[in-house]
Structure 1
Amino acid sequence: MKKISLLAALLVNGTILMAQTNPVITAWLRNTTGVTGRHYVSGSSTPIVDADSANVQTVLYSATWSYTRTKGVPTYVTGPFLDGNPSLTTSQNAIFKLPLTPAVNTGTPTATTGGDIGIFINGVAMFDYRDGVSWKNSTSALAGGPLGGMGDGVWNRDAIVGEVTGFDCSKGHPAMGNYHHHQNPSAFGLDLNVLSTVCNLYTSDALYVMDSTHHSPLLGFAFDGYPVYGAFGYKNADGTGGITRIKSSYTLRSITTRTTYADGSTVTAGPAVNATYPLGYFREDYQYNTTSAATPDYLDEHNGRFCVTPEYPAGTYAYFCTVGSNWNSAYPYMVGPTYYGVKSGGKVTSITEPVTIFTGTVGINNIKEDAQVVSVFPNPASDLIAVQLKNFNTETIVVELYDINGRMVQKTMVYPGSTMAYFDTRTIYDGEYIVKVITNSGVISKRVSVIK
């Protein structure tokens, strides 16, 4: 009887310990304040407050699975979508199921598919490179996805290239209300080479801000249960070598016509390589470079590697959101075109086993009492003052604006999963002001001038 009780205690304690340490349970950004989503409409830089709750609603777990309830709405403002997309970010009332212990796939790799392939830690959906559009040889035109009809499915359009005008500042957009990212979820306006000017009118907020001096945060999980990180990590898999940009091993093919695949097989022809359909417009324009993959800071054919990370000090297989030297997204962007592990997770309609609700705090926190992690701009300011947090935010942060006499004139918040706040300065006087950023670690103060 004592042995049975002891075994039961060990099992219970083991499950509790796992819940306390396993990032697939602890890392989610749960909504504990009731914050809702917001969106921009074209022509107005004033966000509209929505009714749907942002971030993850509830995290539950069993001995083998985690379950994340989410509406798929981020705390950063979504929209506008300047390609005419009429959809807005709306509640998905989704449940995502992920294995607590991912399994390596030793057989034929499973290809990623259109739609959800994983989930970010704020509950937003993760998509792969595709947008459902492909070349139709019989009509010499694109078809499928938002264009309607059906293409050949041989030369598949890369959504990051083909739909760049339809992404908001955060590099996301909705499909029938399901807001998602195909690529690294850091704002266009913060890239070293800015490909979209949508951030000129709408603040450069997103899930995180890239920081080349620190290991990128854990951003989410693929449906095989393995974690997905941002663009920077340790150069060497064992955690040594300093911080570097983790690179894709896929390169553009040297072709002028689209009649074969990278393996040499002949396929239904696509359009010739030209100004309208440049190399990189289709997924099949890329090939896997085994020479690059042999270098420590380059990734394998699934866009991942086994390595040490801050959340997995003993090592784990991990995917990375790849970018080029100019910080623009680089194919295959996050996960794919195949999963490394067994794809056992996904979106489910219900939970059919006994589970426990996770009530702990988020397992990561990158905001420190350091003035270097906060940017205040422009300075001097005229119409607005923007406050940008560096890297990643997991807490509710109060941001206050004081005049030189110590009187608070405005107050706002930065919520978990968002990196930016701003003050409207059109109604305040010229002069010197102090911005105070109040975090769990302390207060960061920045001086700013207002000149109109």
Structure 2
Amino acid sequence: MIRVSRYIIYLLILSTSYLNAEPQLSSWYTEKTGKYARIFTSKANEASGTTSITWSRGQGIQNSPTYAGIHAIYNSADWVYIKTSGLGFHVMGPWYLNEAKTRDFPSFPGNTATTYRVPKTPTVFNGNVTTSPGAIGYFVDGVALFDATDTFSYISSSGADGSPLGGGRGDGVWNRDAYVNEGVTFDAAFAHQAMNLHHYHANAPAVRHLLGGSVDYNELTNRYTENFNGLHSPILGWVADGHPVYGPYAYDDPIDPDSKIRRMISGYQKRDGTNGSTNLNSTGRRSLPRWVTTLEGRSTSISSNRYGPNVSNQYILGHYLEDYAYKGHLGLTQGKDYDLDEHNGRFCVTPEFPEGVWAYFTTVEDDGTPVFPYNVGRNYYGTPSGGSVNAVPAQAIKIFSGGPNKQHQAKTISSTNNVVTFIWDTVEGASYRVDASPDLKTWYEGNVKFTADSINQDSIYNKPGSRADRFYRMIRTGIEDFDNSGFSDDFGDGPEPGNNNGAGGINPGGGGGPGGGSNPTGNDLIVAPDQGRAG
């Protein structure tokens, strides 16, 4: 039996009610909340399994630890708000600029202290808004979702691509594919960072593995492997237009949940002459695909000063987004020859939306290799009314509190002979004390005290000589300094606001002492083991 203050019980009931009601609220990944973000800083550390909770390179500076993923969810009539550090629960990194992994990527990720909102109701079809640089949505683990481009394009006058090293962004006619051009800089989870903003452009295997999707993970090698488990993919994220992103596997018949489950087929192919497409290998890059007209309003005809480079080893077919044609413009049929429309989605029933929803899908090969356009097409399906905001409005209701504010609880309790063993759900870096009482009135301060080094911490309590029944409570007594940018301080024991570079130490916290009851911060947890099992 677990008892907490009435205030905390009310919050938990309220949260459960909301989270069970709507996928927009229930799909966010919170299972590992309270865990520090970690990276491999080098291939040597990756090989030895040595992770870091502090780091510094470029704009990615963590002089003190911070917490991974989403740490707060708010609900209002029209919006879902999340607060996230932007850092994954999996071990991120390492990152390099070349295949040989001898040149370091210029920046590590960092806590971005992001507040992001998504419309509660998916917006109706618009189709005219092109995705913009930066986050176009968020994956359910709190990591940013970027579109298919790396924001650089070909510069005809110089005969080279735009580059972050100089020369400008480019003409905007032949736009570079991020996976093809920047994939060498991705870590094992296909992610990297812009400045300190960690993000995915394509398949997100670490997120899919966290959710129990069709991805295996080898901790010894830090590698992800596609392995279809026969199940419909879960929701991986939410886009700014309010539509969900699913993994690669869905029902064969979009409106029949009893049909077989299989991998979704992209509506795009390379312009290589097959299916009547223009063969850029022979014609050169002298015309644009039809989708630039239907989606962006550009003409397929271009003047000679806007031609792209000929296909070569340096500019392989697929180097640019415009190297792809939409199959529907080649006379092929959606639902027969391919599954997904120009926006990389379809209307279908899913386990979370039995009445149907228009959804984006991640596209991959059988082995998990990303397939264009990866997650979201060149344009949003709906209107991207969501995005980053400075603050959560007062009328929004907080339905989840995690990270350093996670409420601790007993996950398992067992008793053997004269010893009671608890496994606690804790916050990494927080300190706790376990007290005992014979009657819930008089409390004796326990000698079981610890600072959690994980989110699952065990503790042992010896029964009194009388073997009388006892009640136990765990009290949070403090927390080590951490990068608190973007975090609230629900327990009142966190670092001072803006004190993001602390070197550790325990701050004194609340908690009932001998004879005390629960305290207003809710950090007093009472556990009564079953009669006869523990005393």
Same fold per TM (> 0.5)? yes
- The structure 2 residue matched to 1:266, chosen from 292, 302, 307, is 302
Q: Which amino acid aligns with 1:229?
A: Y
Question: What is the aligned partner in structure 1 of residue 72 from structure 2?
Answer: 58
Task: Figure out how many residues of one structure are paired with residues of the other and give that number.
Answer: 343
- Structure-1 residue corresponding to 2:86: 72
Alpha-carbon shift at residue 261 of structure 1 (Å): 0.3
Task: String of CA shifts for 1:332-360, please: whole Å, max 9, x gaps.
Answer: 00012111112111111112351111149
**CA separation in 2, counterparts of 1:186 and 1:358?**
28
* Correspondence 1:209-220 to 2 at 5 A: 211-220=228-237
Change (3 A) 1:147 1:159: farther
Residues 147 and 202 from structure 1, CA distance in 2 versus in 1: closer, same or farther, beyond 3 angstroms? farther
What amino acid is the match of 2:262? T
Q: Distance in 1 between matches of 2:262 and 2:165?
A: 37
**Residue 97 (structure 1) aligns with:** 117
Q: 1:201 to 1:156 in 2, by over 3 A?
A: farther
Is contact 1:81-1:168 (8 Å) kept? yes
- Tell me the CA shift for residue 299 of structure 1: 0.3
5 Å matches for 1:431-442? none
> Which residue of 277, 280, 303 corresponds with 1:255?
280
Letter in 2 for 1:309: T
Residues 187, 279 of structure 1: alpha-carbon distance in 2 compared, 3 angstrom cutoff: farther
Question: How far apart are 1:20 and its partner, in Å?
Answer: 3.3
Cα deviation digits, residues 389-434 of structure 1 (max 9, x gap): xxxxxx99xxxxxxxxxxxxxxx9799xxxxxxxxxxxxxxxxxxx
- 1:413–1:169 distance in 2 versus 1, CA, 3 Å: farther
Check 1:413–1:90 CA distance in 2 against 1; reply closer, same or farther (3 A cut). Answer: same
Q: Trace 1:187-226 onto structure 2 (pairs within 5 A).
A: 202-204=221-223, 211-226=228-243
Q: Does 1:337 align with 2:341?
A: no
Cross-structure match for 1:231: 248
Report the counterpart of residue 198 of structure 2 in structure 1: 179
How big is the alpha-carbon RMSD for the aligned residues of Structure 1 and Structure 2?
Answer: 3.0
Task: Give the secondary structure class of the aligned counterpart of 1:49.
Answer: coil
SS at match of 1:220: strand
Q: Normalization by structure 2: what TM-score?
A: 0.60
Residues 255, 273 of structure 1: 8 Å contact kept: yes
SS at match of 2:20: helix
- CA offsets, 1:231-280, max 9 Å, x none? 11111111232110011100111213112101342250111011111110
1:133 aligns with one of 132, 144, 152: 152
Which AA in structure 1 matches 2:319? Answer: Y
Deviation at 1:125, TM superposition (A): 0.2
- Asked if 1:165 is matched to 2:179, the reply is no
Local SS of the residue matching 1:20 = helix
- How far apart are 1:98 and its partner, in Å? 0.7
Q: Which of 297, 305, 309 is equivalent to 2:350?
A: 309
Q: Tell me which residue corresponds to 1:348.
A: 389
Displacement of 1:297 in angstroms is 5.8
Q: 1:317 to 1:18 in 2, by over 3 A?
A: farther
Shift of 1:163: 1.0
Q: Using a 3 Å threshold, how does the CA distance of structure 1 residues 49 and 324 change in structure 2: closer, same or farther?
A: same
- Three-state SS of the structure 1 residue aligned to 2:154 is strand
Is the 8 Å Cα contact of residues 236 and 297 (structure 1) preserved in structure 2?
no
Instruction: Please name the residue that 2:28 is paired with.
Output: 28
Q: Secondary structure at the match of 2:24?
A: helix
SS in 1 for 2:205: coil
Share of identical aligned residues, percent?
35
Q: Could you tell me how far 1:148 is from its partner in structure 2?
A: 5.6
User: Is the CA contact 1:72–1:179 (under 8 Å) kept in the aligned structure 2?
Assistant: yes
Task: Please point out which of 82, 100, 103 is paired with 2:96.
Answer: 82
- Does the 8 Å contact 2:266/2:371 carry over to 1? yes
Alpha-carbon distance in 1 for matches of 2:259, 2:371? 23
Gaps of 5+ in 1: 1-13, 191-198, 362-394, 397-411, 416-452
Give the structure 1 partner of residue 336 of structure 2: 295
* 1:279 correspondence with 2:317: yes
CA distance in 2: counterparts of 1:235 and 1:211, whole angstroms: 15
Residues 169, 202 of structure 1: 8 Å contact kept: no
Pick closer, same or farther for the CA change 1:172–1:269 going to 2, 3 Å.
same
| 8 Å Cα contact 1:37-1:53 kept in structure 2 | yes
The AA in structure 2 aligned to 1:276 is Q
SS at match of 1:341: coil
Q: Tell me the alpha carbon deviations over residues 44-100 of structure 1, each in whole angstroms, 9 at most, x when there is no partner.
A: 221112412101010001111110000101011111111132211100101111111
- Is the CA contact (8 Å cut-off) linking 2:181 and 2:319 kept in structure 1? yes
Over residues 216-237 of structure 1, what are the superposed CA-to-partner deviations in whole Å (9 max), with x where a residue is unaligned?
1111101101110111111111
Structure 2: segments with no counterpart, 5+ residues: 1-13, 55-64, 98-103, 210-217, 272-278, 291-299, 403-424, 427-452, 457-535
Distance of 2:234 and 2:198 partners within structure 1: 21
* 1:149 paired residue among 168, 176, 182: 168
Match of 1:318 in 2: 359
- Per the TM alignment, residue 33 of structure 1 is displaced from its structure 2 partner at its CA by 4.7
> What's the offset of the Cα at 1:122?
0.8
Contact 1:302 / 1:339 at 8 angstroms: preserved in 2? yes
What is the correspondence of 1:374-389 to structure 2 with a 5 Å cutoff?
Answer: none
Query: CA 1:15–1:204 in structure 2 vs 1: closer, same or farther (change >3 Å)?
Result: closer
